[in-house]
A = this chain, B = another copy of it.
Amino acid sequence: MASIDLNRVERLLRPRHVAVIGASGDPTKLTGRPIGYLKKYGFKGQILPVNPRLSEIGDLTCYPDIQSLPIAPDVALVLLGADRAEQAVGDLAARGTAAAIVLASGFGEAGADGQKRQQALREAAGSMRLLGPNTIGLVNISDGIMLSASGALEVAGLPTGRISVVSQSGGILGSLLSRAADRGIGFAKLVSTGNEADLDTCDMLEYLVEDANTSALAVYMEGLRRPDAFRRVARRAAEVGKPIVVFKVGRSESGARSAVSHTGALAGADRMYDALFKQLGIVRALTFSDLLDIPAALASGRRARGNRVAILTSTGGAGTLVADSCGLAGLGVPAPDAETAVSLARLQSSDDAGSIGNPVDVTLAGLRPDLFRAAMSSLLASPSFDATVVVVGSSALAQPHLVTDAAVACQAESDKPLIAYVSPHAPEIVRLLNGKGIPALTNPESCATVLVAMMRSVVFTEKPATAQAAAANGFADATGAFDEAESKRLFASFGIRGVQETVAVTAADAAKAARELGETVVVKILSRHIAHKSDIGGVKVGVAPDDVALICDDMQNNVARLGHQAEGFLVQQMVRGGIEMILGLHHDPQLGPAILLGMGGVAAELFEDTTIRLLPVTRKDASDMVDELKTAKLLHGYRGAPPRDIAALVDAIMAFAAMGEQLGDRLKEAEINPLFVMPAGQGVRAADGLAIFRDQS
Q: If the complex has contacts A178-B424, A287-B443, A602-B639, are A105 and B317 also in contact, measured as CB distance less than 8 A?
A: no
Which one of A55-63, A390-398, A553-561 is at the interface?
A390-398
* Contact among B174, B363, B393, B424 for A105, CB-based, below 8 A: B363
Q: Could you tell me the distance in whole angstroms from the C-beta of A111 to the nearest C-beta in chain B?
A: 7
The segment out of A238-246, A616-624, A630-638 that lies at the interface is A630-638
Q: A150 on the interface (CB 8 Å rule)? A: yes
Tell me the complex Cα distance, A315–B105, Å. Answer: 12
Q: Are B288 and A178 in contact (CB under 8 A)?
A: no
CB distance from A161 to the nearest CB of B (A): 16
When chains A and B are docked, how far (Å) is the Cα of A350 from the Cα of B633? 59
Give the copy number: 2
Binds B, one of A165-173, A482-490, A647-655, A666-674: A165-173
Question: Which residues, 356 to 372 on A, are CB-close (under 8 Å) to B?
Answer: 363
Complex contact A397–B154 (CB within 8 A): yes
Expressed in whole angstroms, the minimum distance between the Cβ of A13 and any Cβ of chain B is: 22
How many angstroms between the C-alpha atoms of A328 and B270 in the bound complex? 12
Cα–Cα, bound, A177→B317 (Å) = 14
CB closest chain-B residue, reference A326: B252
Rounded to whole angstroms, the CA-CA distance of A168 and B602 in the bound complex is 46
A contact set with B: CB distance below 8 Å: 28, 105, 109, 111, 150-152, 154-155, 167-172, 174-175, 177-179, 181-182, 220, 222, 249-253, 287-289, 315-318, 320-321, 323-328, 355, 363, 393-398, 423-426, 443-445, 599, 601-604, 606-607, 609, 630-631, 633-634, 638-639
* The 10 residue pairs across chains A and B that have the minimum distance between CB atoms: A252-B327, A169-B317, A171-B315, A603-B603, A174-B394, A172-B317, A178-B424, A178-B425, A182-B425, A151-B394
A181 touches B317 (CB 8 A): no
Q: Which residues of B contact A154 (CB under 8 A)?
A: 397-398
Q: Which of B289, B321, B604 contacts A603 (CB 8 A)?
A: B604
Q: A151-B398, A169-B316, A220-B317 are in contact. List 18 more A-B contacts (CB 8 A).
A: A105-B363, A111-B355, A169-B318, A170-B317, A171-B317, A171-B393, A171-B423, A172-B321, A174-B423, A177-B424, A250-B324, A251-B328, A287-B443, A288-B443, A602-B639, A603-B603, A603-B604, A603-B607
Q: Given A175-B394, A397-B151, are A222 and B320 also a contact pair (CB < 8 Å)?
A: yes
- Kindly list chain B residues whose C-beta atoms are within 8 Å of the C-beta of A249: 320-321, 324
Between-chain CB contacts (< 8 Å), 6 pairs: A169-B318, A249-B321, A252-B325, A252-B326, A599-B603, A603-B634
- Cα separation A335 to B371 with both chains bound (whole Å): 60
CA of A426 to CA of B631 in the docked complex: distance in angstroms?
A: 47
Point out the residues of chain B lying under 8 angstroms from A606, CB to CB.
630-631, 633-634, 638
In the bound assembly, the distance between CA atoms of A607 and B325 in angstroms comes to 22
> Which residues from B are CB-within-8-Å of A631?
603, 606
DSSP majority for the A interface?
A: helix
**B contact residues around A152 at 8 Å (CB):** 394, 397, 424
Q: How far is the CA of A175 from the CA of B170 in the complex (A)?
A: 33
Contacts of A633 in B (CB 8 A): 606
Check if B175 sits within 8 Å of A445, measured CB to CB. Answer: no
Contacts of A601 in B (CB 8 A): 603
Q: Which residues of B contact A599 (CB under 8 A)?
A: 603
A394: B residues at CB distance < 8 A: 150-152, 171, 174-175, 178
Contact A317 B167 (CB under 8 A): yes
- Residues of B close to A638: CB separation below 8 A: 602, 606
Question: Does A171 contact B316, Cβ atoms closer than 8 Å?
Answer: yes
Point out which of A154, A168, A394, A398 has the most chain B C-beta atoms below 10 A from its C-beta: A394
Return the contact of A324 from the options B168, B171, B252, B320 (Cβ within 8 A).
B252
Chain B residues, Cβ within 8 Å of A177: 424
Which residues from chain B contact A222 at a C-beta distance below 8 Å? Answer: 320
Residue numbers in B under 8 Å from A179 (CB-CB): 424-425
Q: Which chain B residue lies CB-closest to A134? A: B316
Please measure, in the bound complex, the distance between the C-alpha atom of A151 and the C-alpha atom of B367, giving whole angstroms.
Answer: 13
* Contact status A397-B171, CB under 8 Å: no
A179 to B396, CA, bound (A): 14
Residue from A170, A249, A363, A639 with most neighbouring chain B CB atoms (10 Å)? A249
* Docked CA distance A170–B316 (Å): 8
What is the distance, in angstroms, from A250's C-beta to the closest C-beta of chain B?
A: 7
How close is A452's CB to chain B, nearest CB, in angstroms? 14
Residue from the list B174, B315, B602 in contact with A424, Cβ < 8 A: B174
Asked whether, in the complex, the Cβ of B174 is within 8 Å of the Cβ of A393, the reply is yes
What CA separation (Å) do A253 and B320 show in the bound complex?
11
Q: In the complex, what residue of chain B is closest to A172 when comparing beta carbons?
A: B317
Known: A150-B394, A317-B169. A444 touches B288 (CB 8 A): yes
Q: Which of A168, A397, A634 has the most CB of B within 10 A?
A: A397
- CB-CB under 8 A from A288, the residues of chain B are 321, 443-445
Rounded to whole angstroms, the CA-CA distance of A634 and B602 in the bound complex is: 8
Q: In the docked arrangement, what's the CA distance between A424 and B250, Å?
A: 21
Please tell me which one of the listed residues B151, B445, B604 contacts residue A395 in the complex, with CB atoms under 8 A apart. Answer: B151
Contacts of A175 in B (CB 8 A): 317-318, 394, 423-425
Complex: how many Å from CA A273 to CA B112? 54
Give chain B nearest CB distance to A597 CB in angstroms.
Answer: 16
Q: Which residue of B lies closest to A28 (CB)?
A: B398
Residue of B nearest to A179 (CB): B425
Residues of B within 8 A of A325 (CB): 252
* Complex CA distance for A395 and B222, rounded to whole angstroms: 22
* Complex-state Cα separation, A317 to B609, whole angstroms: 32
Interface centre among A171, A324, A325 (most CB of B within 10 A): A171
